[in-house]
Amino acid sequence: MTALEIVVVIPFYQHRPGVLARALASIAAQERPPDWRLRVIVVSDESPSDPALDLAQADVSQLDLKLIRQSNAGPASARNRGLAEIGSADFVALLDSDDVWTPEHLRAALEALHSCEADLYFSNNLHAGQSHWFAEHPRFLAVLAAAERKAGEQLTLIPPERLAEALLDDAVMHPSCLVFRPERLGAVRFDERLVSGEDHLYSVVLALKGRRPVVNRAATMIRGDDGLNYYRGALDWDSPRASWRAVTNLAKYRRASKTLADHPRLKNLAQSKAAVVEREYVYLLARNFRRHPAESWRSLRLGWRTLGLRLGLALLSLPSSLLRKARGELQFDV
Protein backbone atom coordinates (compact mmCIF):
# COMPACT_ATOMS: atom_id res chain seq x y z
CA MET A 1 0.00 0.00 0.00
CA THR A 2 1.40 3.40 -1.03
CA ALA A 3 1.98 5.77 1.87
CA LEU A 4 0.03 9.02 1.88
CA GLU A 5 2.45 11.96 2.02
CA ILE A 6 1.65 15.27 3.70
CA VAL A 7 4.17 18.09 3.43
CA VAL A 8 4.20 20.77 6.13
CA VAL A 9 5.91 24.08 5.29
CA ILE A 10 7.15 26.25 8.19
CA PRO A 11 8.78 29.66 7.64
CA PHE A 12 11.06 30.50 10.56
CA TYR A 13 12.21 33.86 11.89
CA GLN A 14 12.27 34.24 15.68
CA HIS A 15 14.34 35.98 18.32
CA ARG A 16 14.36 33.21 20.90
CA PRO A 17 14.48 29.40 20.95
CA GLY A 18 11.60 27.16 22.01
CA VAL A 19 8.88 28.53 19.74
CA LEU A 20 9.63 26.24 16.78
CA ALA A 21 10.10 23.22 19.05
CA ARG A 22 6.53 23.68 20.30
CA ALA A 23 5.16 23.81 16.72
CA LEU A 24 7.11 20.68 15.77
CA ALA A 25 5.79 18.86 18.83
CA SER A 26 2.23 19.60 17.70
CA ILE A 27 3.00 18.06 14.29
CA ALA A 28 4.49 14.93 15.87
CA ALA A 29 1.38 14.63 18.08
CA GLN A 30 -1.05 14.49 15.13
CA GLU A 31 -3.59 11.65 15.18
CA ARG A 32 -2.79 9.64 12.10
CA PRO A 33 -2.73 6.09 10.72
CA PRO A 34 0.66 4.39 10.19
CA ASP A 35 0.55 4.85 6.39
CA TRP A 36 0.73 8.65 6.65
CA ARG A 37 4.16 10.11 5.99
CA LEU A 38 4.74 13.58 7.41
CA ARG A 39 7.47 15.52 5.63
CA VAL A 40 8.33 18.83 7.33
CA ILE A 41 10.22 21.63 5.58
CA VAL A 42 11.53 24.39 7.85
CA VAL A 43 12.87 27.45 6.03
CA SER A 44 15.00 29.70 8.22
CA ASP A 45 14.85 33.23 6.81
CA GLU A 46 18.20 34.14 8.40
CA SER A 47 16.50 33.86 11.79
CA PRO A 48 18.30 35.54 14.72
CA SER A 49 17.49 32.43 16.77
CA ASP A 50 19.18 29.38 15.27
CA PRO A 51 16.54 26.74 14.40
CA ALA A 52 19.08 24.04 15.27
CA LEU A 53 18.47 24.90 18.95
CA ASP A 54 14.78 24.06 18.53
CA LEU A 55 15.47 20.91 16.55
CA ALA A 56 17.67 19.72 19.40
CA GLN A 57 14.80 20.30 21.88
CA ALA A 58 12.01 18.70 19.84
CA ASP A 59 11.38 14.98 19.33
CA VAL A 60 11.36 14.85 15.53
CA SER A 61 12.17 11.16 15.20
CA GLN A 62 8.74 10.48 13.66
CA LEU A 63 9.10 13.28 11.13
CA ASP A 64 11.00 13.45 7.86
CA LEU A 65 12.41 16.92 8.49
CA LYS A 66 14.45 19.13 6.20
CA LEU A 67 15.99 22.43 7.31
CA ILE A 68 16.69 25.04 4.63
CA ARG A 69 18.59 28.23 5.37
CA GLN A 70 18.33 31.32 3.20
CA SER A 71 19.37 34.98 3.34
CA ASN A 72 16.70 37.18 4.86
CA ALA A 73 14.02 37.88 2.26
CA GLY A 74 10.76 37.90 4.24
CA PRO A 75 8.00 35.39 5.05
CA ALA A 76 6.65 35.25 1.49
CA SER A 77 10.05 34.15 0.16
CA ALA A 78 10.51 31.61 2.97
CA ARG A 79 7.10 30.05 2.34
CA ASN A 80 7.72 29.97 -1.41
CA ARG A 81 11.06 28.27 -0.86
CA GLY A 82 9.29 25.59 1.11
CA LEU A 83 6.50 25.22 -1.45
CA ALA A 84 9.13 24.64 -4.12
CA GLU A 85 10.11 21.46 -2.22
CA ILE A 86 6.69 19.76 -2.05
CA GLY A 87 7.45 17.37 -4.93
CA SER A 88 4.77 14.71 -5.42
CA ALA A 89 3.06 15.16 -2.05
CA ASP A 90 -0.62 14.24 -1.75
CA PHE A 91 -1.44 17.16 0.54
CA VAL A 92 0.25 20.38 1.66
CA ALA A 93 -0.24 22.13 5.00
CA LEU A 94 1.21 25.41 6.26
CA LEU A 95 2.18 26.18 9.85
CA ASP A 96 3.71 29.36 11.24
CA SER A 97 6.51 28.66 13.69
CA ASP A 98 4.73 30.26 16.66
CA ASP A 99 1.41 28.41 16.16
CA VAL A 100 0.39 24.90 17.22
CA TRP A 101 -2.10 22.40 15.85
CA THR A 102 -4.56 20.50 17.97
CA PRO A 103 -3.99 16.71 17.65
CA GLU A 104 -6.94 16.24 15.24
CA HIS A 105 -6.01 19.04 12.84
CA LEU A 106 -4.65 17.01 9.92
CA ARG A 107 -7.12 14.15 10.41
CA ALA A 108 -10.06 16.59 10.35
CA ALA A 109 -8.64 18.31 7.27
CA LEU A 110 -8.16 15.15 5.24
CA GLU A 111 -11.53 13.74 6.26
CA ALA A 112 -13.18 16.97 5.11
CA LEU A 113 -11.25 17.06 1.84
CA HIS A 114 -12.24 13.46 1.11
CA SER A 115 -15.89 13.59 2.21
CA CYS A 116 -16.56 16.87 0.39
CA GLU A 117 -14.40 16.00 -2.64
CA ALA A 118 -12.68 19.33 -1.98
CA ASP A 119 -9.23 20.57 -2.94
CA LEU A 120 -8.93 23.43 -0.43
CA TYR A 121 -9.61 23.38 3.32
CA PHE A 122 -9.16 25.74 6.22
CA SER A 123 -10.43 25.73 9.77
CA ASN A 124 -11.28 28.13 12.54
CA ASN A 125 -8.64 28.83 15.18
CA LEU A 126 -8.31 29.93 18.76
CA HIS A 127 -6.94 33.44 19.09
CA ALA A 128 -4.78 33.90 22.19
CA GLY A 129 -5.92 30.42 23.24
CA GLN A 130 -9.47 31.50 24.06
CA SER A 131 -11.42 33.48 21.46
CA HIS A 132 -12.67 31.73 18.32
CA TRP A 133 -11.29 33.69 15.36
CA PHE A 134 -14.43 33.44 13.21
CA ALA A 135 -16.51 34.91 16.05
CA GLU A 136 -14.49 38.13 15.73
CA HIS A 137 -15.51 38.43 12.05
CA PRO A 138 -19.30 38.79 11.76
CA ARG A 139 -19.18 39.48 8.01
CA PHE A 140 -17.58 36.11 7.41
CA LEU A 141 -20.03 34.41 9.77
CA ALA A 142 -22.85 35.77 7.59
CA VAL A 143 -21.19 34.22 4.52
CA LEU A 144 -20.95 30.87 6.32
CA ALA A 145 -24.60 31.04 7.36
CA ALA A 146 -25.71 31.59 3.75
CA ALA A 147 -23.53 28.82 2.26
CA GLU A 148 -24.11 25.08 1.79
CA ARG A 149 -23.63 23.28 5.07
CA LYS A 150 -22.82 19.58 5.25
CA ALA A 151 -25.60 18.13 7.41
CA GLY A 152 -24.67 17.29 10.98
CA GLU A 153 -21.11 18.55 10.62
CA GLN A 154 -19.06 21.70 11.12
CA LEU A 155 -18.22 21.87 7.42
CA THR A 156 -19.39 24.52 4.96
CA LEU A 157 -18.90 24.52 1.18
CA ILE A 158 -18.47 27.96 -0.40
CA PRO A 159 -18.13 28.56 -4.19
CA PRO A 160 -14.59 29.71 -5.08
CA GLU A 161 -15.38 33.27 -6.23
CA ARG A 162 -17.74 33.86 -3.29
CA LEU A 163 -15.07 32.63 -0.87
CA ALA A 164 -12.43 34.80 -2.55
CA GLU A 165 -14.67 37.85 -2.15
CA ALA A 166 -15.36 37.00 1.50
CA LEU A 167 -11.64 36.57 2.20
CA LEU A 168 -10.70 39.81 0.46
CA ASP A 169 -13.34 41.58 2.52
CA ASP A 170 -12.27 39.93 5.78
CA ALA A 171 -8.87 38.26 6.27
CA VAL A 172 -9.96 35.12 8.12
CA MET A 173 -7.99 32.33 6.40
CA HIS A 174 -4.95 31.93 8.64
CA PRO A 175 -2.07 30.12 6.88
CA SER A 176 -1.64 27.73 9.80
CA CYS A 177 -5.21 26.47 9.29
CA LEU A 178 -4.74 25.70 5.61
CA VAL A 179 -4.48 22.27 3.93
CA PHE A 180 -4.81 21.70 0.17
CA ARG A 181 -4.28 19.27 -2.68
CA PRO A 182 -1.25 20.43 -4.69
CA GLU A 183 -2.31 19.15 -8.14
CA ARG A 184 -4.16 22.38 -8.87
CA LEU A 185 -3.04 24.67 -6.05
CA GLY A 186 0.60 23.75 -5.52
CA ALA A 187 1.80 26.29 -8.09
CA VAL A 188 0.20 29.28 -6.29
CA ARG A 189 2.85 31.43 -4.62
CA PHE A 190 3.02 34.21 -2.05
CA ASP A 191 3.68 37.67 -3.52
CA GLU A 192 7.25 38.51 -2.51
CA ARG A 193 6.80 42.17 -3.43
CA LEU A 194 4.66 42.67 -0.33
CA VAL A 195 6.33 43.58 2.97
CA SER A 196 3.23 42.46 4.88
CA GLY A 197 -0.19 41.07 3.99
CA GLU A 198 1.23 38.48 1.59
CA ASP A 199 -0.71 35.75 3.39
CA HIS A 200 -3.99 37.65 2.96
CA LEU A 201 -3.56 38.04 -0.81
CA TYR A 202 -2.39 34.42 -1.07
CA SER A 203 -5.61 33.21 0.58
CA VAL A 204 -7.74 35.14 -1.95
CA VAL A 205 -5.84 33.79 -4.98
CA LEU A 206 -5.88 30.26 -3.55
CA ALA A 207 -9.67 30.43 -3.08
CA LEU A 208 -10.11 31.57 -6.69
CA LYS A 209 -7.96 28.72 -8.00
CA GLY A 210 -9.74 26.08 -5.94
CA ARG A 211 -12.59 24.06 -7.45
CA ARG A 212 -14.36 23.10 -4.25
CA PRO A 213 -13.25 24.85 -1.03
CA VAL A 214 -14.49 23.64 2.35
CA VAL A 215 -14.41 25.54 5.65
CA ASN A 216 -14.38 23.91 9.09
CA ARG A 217 -16.04 26.03 11.76
CA ALA A 218 -14.29 24.01 14.48
CA ALA A 219 -10.98 25.41 15.77
CA THR A 220 -8.06 23.02 15.18
CA MET A 221 -5.19 25.49 15.57
CA ILE A 222 -4.06 27.71 18.44
CA ARG A 223 -2.31 30.93 17.50
CA GLY A 224 0.81 31.76 19.47
CA ASP A 225 1.02 35.14 21.15
CA ASP A 226 4.68 34.96 22.14
CA GLY A 227 6.31 34.75 18.70
CA LEU A 228 7.63 37.59 16.59
CA ASN A 229 4.78 39.49 14.93
CA TYR A 230 5.44 43.01 13.62
CA TYR A 231 1.89 43.51 12.34
CA ARG A 232 0.12 42.67 15.60
CA GLY A 233 2.28 45.16 17.47
CA ALA A 234 1.31 47.92 15.01
CA LEU A 235 -2.48 47.72 15.40
CA ASP A 236 -2.65 50.39 18.12
CA TRP A 237 -2.78 53.89 16.62
CA ASP A 238 -0.21 55.04 19.18
CA SER A 239 2.26 52.38 18.06
CA PRO A 240 5.43 53.73 16.36
CA ARG A 241 4.66 51.33 13.49
CA ALA A 242 0.99 52.27 13.05
CA SER A 243 1.55 54.19 9.81
CA TRP A 244 3.84 51.36 8.59
CA ARG A 245 0.98 48.93 9.14
CA ALA A 246 -1.38 51.19 7.18
CA VAL A 247 0.97 51.67 4.22
CA THR A 248 1.73 47.95 3.97
CA ASN A 249 -2.03 47.34 3.94
CA LEU A 250 -2.32 49.93 1.19
CA ALA A 251 0.39 48.20 -0.86
CA LYS A 252 -1.45 44.90 -0.40
CA TYR A 253 -4.80 46.20 -1.67
CA ARG A 254 -3.18 48.02 -4.59
CA ARG A 255 -1.37 44.82 -5.50
CA ALA A 256 -4.61 42.86 -5.12
CA SER A 257 -6.43 45.15 -7.58
CA LYS A 258 -3.80 44.26 -10.22
CA THR A 259 -3.65 40.55 -9.39
CA LEU A 260 -7.46 40.32 -9.56
CA ALA A 261 -7.85 42.41 -12.71
CA ASP A 262 -9.74 39.60 -14.49
CA HIS A 263 -12.38 39.57 -11.73
CA PRO A 264 -14.08 43.01 -11.84
CA ARG A 265 -16.05 42.57 -8.63
CA LEU A 266 -12.95 41.63 -6.65
CA LYS A 267 -10.85 44.31 -8.32
CA ASN A 268 -13.41 46.98 -7.37
CA LEU A 269 -13.51 45.73 -3.78
CA ALA A 270 -9.70 45.88 -3.56
CA GLN A 271 -9.68 49.42 -4.96
CA SER A 272 -12.34 50.60 -2.52
CA LYS A 273 -10.37 49.17 0.40
CA ALA A 274 -7.17 50.79 -0.91
CA ALA A 275 -8.91 54.18 -0.95
CA VAL A 276 -9.95 53.81 2.71
CA VAL A 277 -6.51 52.63 3.83
CA GLU A 278 -4.83 55.46 1.92
CA ARG A 279 -6.78 57.99 4.01
CA GLU A 280 -5.88 56.09 7.18
CA TYR A 281 -2.20 56.05 6.25
CA VAL A 282 -1.99 59.79 5.63
CA TYR A 283 -3.90 60.49 8.85
CA LEU A 284 -1.65 58.22 10.96
CA LEU A 285 1.46 59.65 9.34
CA ALA A 286 0.45 63.17 10.39
CA ARG A 287 -0.86 62.05 13.78
CA ASN A 288 2.32 60.23 14.84
CA PHE A 289 5.09 62.13 13.05
CA ARG A 290 6.13 64.20 16.06
CA ARG A 291 5.76 61.27 18.46
CA HIS A 292 7.70 58.74 16.38
CA PRO A 293 9.79 60.64 13.80
CA ALA A 294 12.22 57.84 12.88
CA GLU A 295 9.51 55.26 12.21
CA SER A 296 7.41 57.89 10.43
CA TRP A 297 10.25 58.71 8.03
CA ARG A 298 10.62 55.01 7.23
CA SER A 299 6.88 54.79 6.66
CA LEU A 300 7.02 57.87 4.44
CA ARG A 301 9.72 56.31 2.26
CA LEU A 302 7.66 53.16 1.92
CA GLY A 303 4.64 55.31 1.08
CA TRP A 304 6.61 56.98 -1.71
CA ARG A 305 7.56 53.60 -3.15
CA THR A 306 3.92 52.50 -2.93
CA LEU A 307 2.15 55.63 -4.17
CA GLY A 308 4.73 57.68 -6.02
CA LEU A 309 3.39 61.11 -7.00
CA ARG A 310 -0.02 60.13 -5.69
CA LEU A 311 1.41 60.48 -2.18
CA GLY A 312 1.66 64.26 -2.70
CA LEU A 313 -2.01 64.46 -3.70
CA ALA A 314 -2.96 62.36 -0.68
CA LEU A 315 -1.02 64.68 1.63
CA LEU A 316 -2.84 67.69 0.18
CA SER A 317 -6.11 66.19 1.43
CA LEU A 318 -4.76 65.94 4.98
CA PRO A 319 -6.26 69.18 6.43
CA SER A 320 -9.77 68.22 5.39
CA SER A 321 -9.22 64.66 6.65
CA LEU A 322 -8.11 65.93 10.05
CA LEU A 323 -11.17 68.17 10.26
CA ARG A 324 -13.52 65.35 9.26
CA LYS A 325 -11.87 63.04 11.77
CA ALA A 326 -12.33 65.61 14.54
CA ARG A 327 -16.04 65.77 13.65
CA GLY A 328 -16.30 61.98 13.70
CA GLU A 329 -17.11 61.89 9.98
CA LEU A 330 -14.01 60.01 8.80
CA GLN A 331 -14.02 56.22 9.22
CA PHE A 332 -11.26 53.75 8.37
CA ASP A 333 -13.14 50.48 8.64
CA VAL A 334 -12.09 48.13 5.81
pLDDT digits (tens, 9 = 90+) for 42-69: 999 999 999 999 998 888 888 999 999 9
Mean pLDDT of 65-79: 96
pLDDT digits (tens, 9 = 90+) for 308-331: 888 887 788 777 777 776 777 666
* Per-residue pLDDT, 128: 65
Q: What is the distance between the alpha carbons of residues 331 and 283, in angstroms, rounded to a whole number? A: 11
pTM (predicted TM-score): 0.92
DSSP string, 234-285: G-STTSTTHHHHHHHHHHHHHHHHHHTTT-HHHHHHHHHHHHHHHHHHHHHH
Q: Please provide the CATH number assigned to the domain covering 4-222.
A: 3.90.550.10
* Per-residue pLDDT, 323: 73
Mean pLDDT of 254-268: 97
